[in-house]
Amino acid sequence: MITNNRLTEAQYNQNFSDIHPMFETKDAALVAANKCLFCYDAPCTKACPTSIDIPKFIKQITTENIKGSAHTIFQSNILGAGCGKVCPVEKLCEGSCVYNLMEETPVQIAKLQRYSTEKAIEENWKLFERKPSNGKKVAIVGAGPAGLSCAHVLAREGVEVTIYEKESKGGGLMTYGIAAYKVTPAFCEDEVNYIISIGGIDIKYNQTLGKDFSLDELQKNYDAVYLAFGIGTINKLNIPGEDLDGVEDAIHFIYNIRTNEFKNISVGDRVAVIGMGNTAIDAATQSKRLGAKEVAMVYRRTEAEKTCTQHELDIARLDGCATLWLAAPKEIIGDSGKVKALVCDVMQLGEPDASGRPTPIPTGETFTLEVDMIIKATGQKPYTALVEQIGLENNKGKIILQSDKASTNVKGVFAGGDAINGGKEAVDAVQAGKDGANAILNFIF
């Protein structure tokens, strides 16, 4: 049965509290910071898509120059606070920390990054000064990580930036598409406010491109346009029964969790989550944390090919989510219009496909899972219609950029983030925003 209000207030709060609590004392942060060797040409910095000078900001914690530390982080990544919470650090900075080569646990880079940046936001430190306005105007579509990052670089340089955002809050998927135990919407709001406090950034909310305004208008009224509208809903499974009650899209499911009280979110007794990326994990763990009795993650390849990180999979497993490998949804069976069971093909691995991963092939055997809710997390669809309509060169809806990695085929129109790459990490979008801003500055001056 799909129902809400399964748990007490205290249980909800416990299940959705911060999974990586902050250092409780300065001493604890200093112990962690002093572990850093202050590497030269540090592997952690190279592994960070935004190239944060990690040894420097950690050294600054040890000298108790926390303002300097926060500045070092924000200079490379203005969403450094949020990224410290949501980055898959085990495959980025912490994963390449040289301590791993000593068979030692890595420096707690993410936690240290949060130490400095959260203090900066909490105390509202003014770490950047905006140059005097130069009269240039840039429009940005989307107030997610790419749009905000682009806006901040431009604002610093004295450009007047207007961001058009389709939601009622900024932050993009940080606000609307991340598990609540990693980052809260309230934190995202603080982060957005901190970023725009530099001045020169006006966010217009509830404005959807193609509906409330057009690209033509932006091109007419601004010196340049940056498109950072991200990516859309989940790909369809294209199997019978997909329209039954109880089949949900992970993006919608998580969006609802982000915009409602936990007790108002309905979840089934037995939930199947299709997919094994980080979004699938967020859907599975949060189903469990909302009170689902059983959650099974269904994936057509094996654990070796999963797209989530090991760390994320461990969270799901510790939450008690089951994993079914080599299982591909074949049909959803309903009863009175509601989901009753999921039939899966048993798969085997074949030759590598275009992505280099082995192709799953049905063995002919099937099995049936008794479930009352199915959450699809099988990759997101680009806004193909929109991209086509505004005349941008694209690859199946993903905008194609020129060699500067920021310009589209339309003069004065730039783009970045998930709308180009089909969905990567927030930190990749932040870097895209910086690249976009630099290309725009070259264009308008």
Partner 1 sequence: MANISSNFLGIKSPNPFWLASAPPTDKKINVLRAYEAGWGGVVWKTLGSQVKNVSSRYSSVDYGGHRVMGFNNIELISDRPLDINLKEITEVVKLFPDRAMIVSLMADNNKKAWHELIKKCEDAGAMGFELNFGCPHGMTERGMGAAVGQDPEIAKMVVEWVMEKATIPVITKLTPNVHSVVPTGKACVEAGTNALSLINTIQSVTGVDLDTLVPNPYVAGKSVFGGYCGPAVKPIALKFLTTIAQDPTTSKVPISGIGGVSTWRDAVEFMLLGSSTVQVCTAAMKHGFRIVQDMCEGLNNWMDEKGFKTIDDFIGKSVNKITHWEDLDINYHHVANINQDKCIHCGLCYIACEDTSHQAINLQNENPYNIYTIKEDDCVGCNLCKLVCPVDNCITMDEKRVAPEYINWKMWQEKGLPLNDH
Contact positions toward partner 1, by CB under 8 A? Answer: 30-31, 33-34, 37-44, 46-47, 62, 96, 98-99, 101-102
Judge whether 327 and 346 are in contact, CB under 8 Å.
yes
Distance CA(50)–CA(35), nearest Å, equals 23
To the nearest whole angstrom, how small is the minimum distance from the Cβ of residue 70 to partner 1?
Answer: 19
Residue 86 CB coordination number (10 Å): 22
- Please, which residue, 98 or 239, has the CB nearer to partner 1? 98
- Please, which residue, 46 or 252, has the CB nearer to partner 1? 46
- Please, which residue, 38 or 367, has the CB nearer to partner 1? 38
- Please, which residue, 63 or 363, has the CB nearer to partner 1? 63
Residue 177 CB coordination number (10 Å): 25
To the nearest whole angstrom, how small is the minimum distance from the Cβ of residue 96 to partner 1?
Answer: 5
The Cβ-side half-sphere exposure at 55, using a 13 Å CA radius, reads 15
Cβ contacts of 209 within 8 Å, gap of 6 or more? 141, 164, 166, 215, 227, 229, 386, 390
Closest CA to 428 of 207, 190, 174, 61: 174
Cβ contacts of 136 within 8 Å, gap of 6 or more? 158, 159, 160, 223, 444, 445
To the nearest whole angstrom, how small is the minimum distance from the Cβ of residue 73 to partner 1?
Answer: 19
To the nearest whole angstrom, how small is the minimum distance from the Cβ of residue 208 to partner 1?
Answer: 40
Cβ contacts of 347 within 8 Å, gap of 6 or more? 300, 301, 326, 327, 328, 360, 361, 362, 363
To the nearest whole angstrom, how small is the minimum distance from the Cβ of residue 104 to partner 1?
Answer: 9
Judge whether 107 and 97 are in contact, CB under 8 Å.
yes
Helix axes 26-34, 109-122, angle to 10 degrees: 140
For 19-106, list the strands marked E by DSSP. Answer: none
- Please, which residue, 42 or 332, has the CB nearer to partner 1? 42
To the nearest whole angstrom, how small is the minimum distance from the Cβ of residue 40 to partner 1?
Answer: 3
- Please, which residue, 23 or 164, has the CB nearer to partner 1? 23
To the nearest whole angstrom, how small is the minimum distance from the Cβ of residue 439 to partner 1?
Answer: 24
- Please, which residue, 39 or 244, has the CB nearer to partner 1? 39
Match 């979840």 to its residue by tokens.
267
